[in-house]
Every structure is written in structure tokens, then in C-alpha cells.
Amino acid sequence: MENKVANMNFGQAIEALKEGKKVARKGWNGKGMYLWLLPETVVKKEWCRDPRLLECFGDEDELLCLGSIRMYTHNSLGRKAVLTGWLASQSDMLSEDWYIVE
């Protein structure tokens, strides 16, 4: 269920992400799109399958992975998708139509 009543600015949306909440903009034209914060964590080499990520470990058994903002969206074919490392546009940063997705 989406809470579209509370209009927030970008700073408030970022604070909500840091509190573990999902956020979205009323101005987005995609249905059901939202952001969440994947917090910083330590990843063990044994869990990893990505060859490029494995290169980053070097001789270590663990790797610090920094937090990132992710977006639930749809790809160009309309399939559900997750975008890792979402970046805000100028419009996103200046808008005050952010809300918490519940």
C-alpha cells in the first residue's frame, strides 16, 4: 500500500531510506516503482559467484560492500527489474512529491 499523502523533499526521502523505509515519487510514471537502501555489509568470498567481484577480494576472504540505493522498476520489455546504484536526477532532487511506500 502506498502512502501518497505525506509530501516530502529529497532530504526527507533520504532520511526515510536510512531508517529502512521504501520511498517513491508521485511524479514517476512507472507503476509500483520505489527505492530502498541496501546497507553496507561484509560479503564472504565463498558466497560470491560474480567473477568481477571475486577479483576484488584478492587474497582476502571478506570484502566490505558499501551501501547503495536500489530501485524496483520494470525494464524496456515491461518485466519486473531491480536497478542497483540508482542515481537521482535534478528533478528528483528538487521535487517535493516524495512519499513513503508501505
Written as nine digits, the cell of 39 is: 546497507
Residue 2 inside a domain? The answer is no
Range of the domain at 42: 10-101
Rounded to 5 degrees, what are φ and ψ at 21?
-95, 160
Kindly state whether residue 28 falls inside one of the protein's structural domains.
yes
Which residue do the cell numbers 528533478 mark? 91
Tens digit of pLDDT for each residue in 1-50?
A: 455 557 999 999 999 999 999 999 998 877 789 999 999 999 999 999 99
Asked if the structure places residue 46 within a domain, the reply is yes
| Overall number of domains in the chain | 1
28 conformational bin, left if phi > 0, alpha if psi -120 to 50, beta if neither: beta
**Inside any domain, residue 55:** yes
- The Cα 84–Cα 95 span in angstroms is 22
Tell me, rounded to whole angstroms, the distance of Cα 49 from its chain centroid: 22
Residue 58: inside a domain: yes
Q: Establish if 4 belongs to a structural domain.
A: no
> What's CA 11's distance to the chain center, in Å?
15
Scan for cell 532530504, then name that residue: 11
Q: How confident is the model at residue 75 (pLDDT cuts 50, 70, 90)?
A: confident
Q: Is residue 3 domain-resident?
A: no
Residue 97 lies in a domain: yes
